Amino acid sequence: MYDFKCEHCEGTVRERHTEREAIRHKGSFVILEDVPIGICDSCGARYFHASVLRRVAEIGRRPAPLQTIEVPVERYTPVS
């Protein structure tokens, strides 16, 4: 599915399974667990196979998610 040259740095994109991956979908986020994604071994750029993105779209159409988690949100202010 992966093992191709990165479009950003010419490194090699290899498949990895991430514990949790937040993917933006229609103004919100879907978090997938144990998802196979492509990660460049040089610059760390992330790539998602079309089958993963289709799954995100399916989940986004569900009336209620399987599970929700609380995420803290804070405005960034620089420390002087």
Residue 16 lies in a domain: yes
State the pLDDT at residue 71: 82
Looking at the domain assignment, is residue 55 inside a domain?
A: yes
Q: How many domains does the chain have?
A: 1
Is 37 a domain residue?
yes
Domain of residue 41, residue span? 4-61
In a domain, residue 38? The reply is yes
Instruction: Let me know if residue 79 belongs to a domain.
Output: no
How high is the pLDDT of residue 49? 92
pLDDT tens track of the chain, all 80 residues?
Answer: 899 999 999 899 999 999 988 888 887 788 888 999 999 999 999 999 999 989 888 887 888 777 888 888 889 899 88
Chain centre distance of CA 28:
12
- Cα separation, 12 vs 80, in Å, equals 40
Q: b/e string for 31-51 if b means 16 or more Cβ within 10 A?
A: bbeebbbbbbeeeeeebbeee
Residue 42: inside a domain: yes
Q: Would you state the pLDDT for residue 16?
A: 95
